[in-house]
Amino acid sequence: IAAFYLLIGYGVGVMLLAAWLVAGVVLADRMWRRTAGDVDTGAGDAGARPDDAGPAIEETLVRLLLFGLILLLYRLFTSRYQDNLSGAALTDHFALFSFLAGAMLPGLLARAGAGTGGVTHMGGPAAQVIRFAVAVVLAAGVPAAMLVLWGARSAVGLLAGLAVAAAATEITGAGGAHPAAGRAALRISIMAMLCAVVLTQTAGYAIPLSTLTRAEKTRMLTALAAGVVAVMVLGDIASRIASWTRRKGQGAIHPSPEGAER
């Protein structure tokens, strides 16, 4: 709320808060109905059963609300930085490239955070935390790098692409009736919102850097890319160590006798 500049976007914010209130009541009602269904079924009512469609509906509501949050951030950004967006439009090639990046980035980050994108693949709570930390670093670094390269014009397309990624999970194949597919779609929407929040919060620092010379930008982005790669490599190593330690503690790894096959 403090980020609103002279109450710009106040009406959209109130509308979104109202939507969250209604959605909260709906989610609570569905959870209560499923709980009541379980109780009734345990009491011997063979015809009653929990609402199996409840989780899918709840995840869809959450994804739509995240989509609304990204639209609100889009409105807030365009109002706050309207002086930097003179002449900017989605037909601009910078905005087009940014739109494509925004549409694909949340899915890639969600896969990396879940350990299915090739960054890390080990299980365990510690490994999951490390994977999520790597995804957060990428979510912060990629939008900031685009702002430094192309300025505020790229943010218009990037936010639009993030909104599409949050809502159109069926296009990417993440949506579906299976619970795992629903969770994957929800992760994509959460990563899209995370990228949008980081973008709007770092724009005030990144946009002035877009006026640097090409050589200065190259040096800065090279250092940023090296830092991101270092975080990914360290995250992968730490994830493997955490998974190995966990499996060793559970007795899944035993030292082999000398000369025996491992």
pLDDT at residue 4 greater than cutoff 60: no
Mean pLDDT, residues 202-218 taken together: 83
Instruction: Answer with the residue of higher pLDDT: 191 or 79.
Output: 191
Please tell me the distance from the alpha carbon of residue 158 to that of residue 164, in angstroms, as a whole number. Answer: 10
- pLDDT, position 20: 67
Does residue 224 fall inside a structural domain?
yes
98 vs 107: CA distance, rounded Å? 15
Task: Give mean pLDDT, residues 15-27.
Answer: 68
Give the position of tokens 């890639």: 108
Tally of structural domains, the chain: 1
Helix residue spans in the chain (DSSP H): 10-42, 54-80, 93-114, 125-150, 153-167, 179-209, 214-249
Lowest mean pLDDT among 23-27, 53-57, 203-207, 236-240: 53-57
Is residue 95 a part of any domain in this protein? yes
Indicate whether 2 belongs to any domain.
no
- What angle do helix axes 93-114 and 179-209 make, rounded to 10 degrees? 130
Does residue 111 lie within any of the structural domains? yes
pLDDT at 105 over 50: yes
Helix axes 153-167, 125-150, angle to 10 degrees: 140
Instruction: Tell me if 259 is assigned to some domain.
Output: no
Flag whether 105 is in a domain. yes
Q: Does any domain span residue 222?
A: yes
Q: Which residues contact 20 (CB under 8 A, 6 or more apart)?
A: 65
Nearest to 139 by CA among 95, 185, 198, 186: 198
- How many beta carbons lie within 10 A of that of residue 58, not counting itself? 18
Cα–Cα distance, 259 to 242 (Å, whole number): 28
**Highest mean pLDDT, choosing among 54-63, 64-73, 114-123, 170-179:** 64-73
**Residue range 34-42: average pLDDT?**
51
Dump pLDDT digits (tens) for 45-97. 444 444 455 566 677 777 777 887 888 888 888 878 877 776 666 666 777 88
User: Which pLDDT score, from 0 to 100, does residue 85 have?
Assistant: 73
Q: Which domain holds residue 66?
A: 10-249
- Residue 256 within any structural domain of the chain: no
57 against 41, higher pLDDT: 57
